[in-house]
């Protein structure tokens, strides 16, 4: 299940750490078509055959909040999935919800049924009602059009529908401002950190072995940690978008991977997600995760999950943390991140935690994460 928090994004980065979590820019949508058209920007990819719940809150009750998505279930699993989605949405304490069913199934052929997946919508109504969340609207999105399941007018009848708006809406504008790149589908997100071919993997393993020998010659653990920080700073600079960006050599990636094995270096690296070069740091963690042999990919994958989560990309955060735990099931920070994602902890709370952690002494290993 993907649980992005699309409206809980930080404003433009400052060169110093903020004194507290910055207030997110609210996104309010009044038109159902705009909401349906903005789904790829809420999720970070273009969903298909999916059910999505969007929480609504704020004083107006129209502020877009937590968004949760799942694949369309088989009939036997409809009620269980509806209950799980409602429980997840309830962690954000919304005032209401909108349900969207994305499916290319044709209309039901039997009289009195019409639009497909009405049974799923019924189960969602019951599950949300049990969670104390009113379902304000339920939409079918299909073939570039949308229908309201409860609309009695001909515009929402089978074979009709309303065209999705073509102009840029508030959700898309907020997504672009936050730097989100919409993938074609969820598998395209997974490909961003897919391991390279056998030859490239063998070269990377050789670089990691060379690095072990080099690290043994460092005079002290503190010297190794400082060298790792300097290398990561330079690598982030080289990962900045633009014509000067270049592929990092295997030896540099190997040194970064071994450096991130040090808790102090990894925790220092977490703070890069709050700084000017947050986007470049995410590029670095993506590249390190993709090229790293197991289990050295656990640390950069966890850093990538944190970075994606902070900008509201729950899908990428879940993919990255799954990679970390697949590689090293005992990696404690990844397990904490996974638990917090499952609990739908908003990015603002993670940001507040990182800001507070930045004030702790460097030799103190923080053993805590925000809980849901």
Does 251 or 182 have the greater pLDDT score? 251
Per-residue pLDDT at 133 exceeds 60: yes
Answer for the pair 164, 37: CB distance below 8 angstroms, yes or no: yes
Answer for the pair 97, 55: CB distance below 8 angstroms, yes or no: yes
**What value does the mean pLDDT of the chain take?**
82
Percentage of the residues of the chain whose pLDDT score is greater than 70? 79
Residue 38's Cα: distance from chain center in Å? 16
Bridge partners (DSSP) of residue 148 are 139
Nearest C-alpha neighbor of 104 from the set 117, 94, 121, 119: 117
347 CB-near residues (< 8 Å, 6+ apart): 5, 8, 9, 10, 309, 310, 311, 312
Distances (CA, A) of 283 to 80, 240, 306, 315, 341: 37, 8, 13, 16, 21
Per-residue pLDDT at 21 exceeds 60: no
Does 186 or 190 have the greater pLDDT score? 190
Summarised one tens digit per residue, pLDDT across range 22-52 is: 444 554 455 788 888 888 878 888 889 999 9
Q: Helix 263-270 crosses helix 298-310 at what angle (to 10 degrees)?
A: 20
Does 240 or 167 have the greater pLDDT score? 240
Q: What are phi and psi of 314, to 5 degrees?
A: -65, -35
Torsion from C-alpha of 349, 80, 35, 108, nearest 10 degrees: 170
Per-residue pLDDT at 139 exceeds 70: yes
Answer for the pair 324, 334: CB distance below 8 angstroms, yes or no: yes
Summarised one tens digit per residue, pLDDT across range 61-110 is: 778 888 889 999 999 999 999 999 999 899 888 999 999 999 999 887 76
| Lookup result for tokens 């708006």 | 165
DSSP state of 56: E
Per-residue pLDDT at 175 exceeds 70: no
pTM: 0.70
Q: What pLDDT was estimated at residue 359?
A: 67
Domain boundaries, the chain: 32-185, 192-357
Distances (CA, A) of 325 to 47, 311, 346: 25, 21, 21
Is the Cα dihedral 347, 349, 352, 356 positive or negative? negative
DSSP state of 91: T
Q: Which of 54-58, 123-127, 208-212 has maximum average pLDDT?
A: 123-127
What is the distance between the terminal CA atoms of the chain, rounded to a whole angstrom? 17
| Lookup result for tokens 């229908």 | 147
- Which tokens hold the place of 194? 């897919």
CATH number assigned to the domain covering 32-185:
3.40.140
The DSSP element (H or E) to which 79 belongs, if any, is helix 78-90
């Amino acid at each position: 299940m993907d649980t992005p928090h699309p409206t809980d994004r930080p404003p433009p980065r400052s060169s110093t750490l903020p004194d507290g979590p910055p207030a997110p820019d609210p996104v309010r949508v009044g038109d159902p078509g705009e909401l349906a058209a903005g789904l790829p920007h809420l999720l970070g990819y273009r969903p298909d055959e999916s059910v999505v719940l969007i929480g609504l809150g704020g004083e107006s009750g129209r502020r877009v909040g937590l968004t949760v998505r799942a694949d369309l279930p088989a009939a036997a699993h409809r009620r269980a999935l509806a209950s799980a989605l409602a429980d997840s949405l309830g962690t954000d304490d919304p005032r209401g919800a909108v349900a969207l069913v994305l499916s290319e199934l044709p209309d039901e052929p039997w009289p009195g049924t019409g639009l497909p997946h009405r049974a799923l919508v019924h189960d969602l109504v019951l599950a949300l009602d049990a969670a104390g969340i009113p379902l304000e609207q339920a939409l079918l999105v299909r073939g570039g059009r949308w229908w309201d399941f409860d609309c009695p007018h001909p515009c929402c009848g089978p074979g009709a529908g309303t065209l999705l708006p073509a102009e840029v809406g508030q959700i898309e504008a907020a997504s672009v401002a936050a730097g989100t790149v919409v993938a074609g589908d969820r598998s395209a997100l997974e490909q961003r950190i897919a391991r390279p071919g056998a030859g490239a993997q063998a070269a990377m393993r050789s670089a990691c072995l060379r690095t072990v020998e080099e690290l043994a010659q460092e005079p002290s653990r503190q010297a190794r940690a400082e060298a790792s920080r300097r290398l990561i700073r330079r690598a982030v600079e080289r990962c900045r978008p633009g014509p000067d960006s270049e592929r990092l050599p295997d030896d540099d990636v190997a040194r970064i991977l071994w450096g991130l094995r040090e808790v102090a270096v990894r925790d220092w690296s977490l703070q890069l997600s709050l700084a000017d070069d947050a986007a470049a740091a995410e590029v670095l963690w993506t590249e390190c995760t993709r090229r790293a042999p197991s289990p050295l990919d656990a640390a950069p994958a966890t850093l990538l999950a944190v970075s994606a989560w902070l900008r509201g990309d729950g899908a990428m955060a879940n993919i990255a943390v799954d990679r970390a735990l697949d590689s090293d099931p005992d990696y404690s920070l990844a397990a904490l991140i996974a638990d917090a994602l499952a609990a739908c902890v908003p990015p603002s709370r993670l940001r507040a935690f990182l800001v507070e952690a930045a004030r702790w002494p460097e030799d103190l290993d923080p053993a805590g994460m925000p809980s849901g």
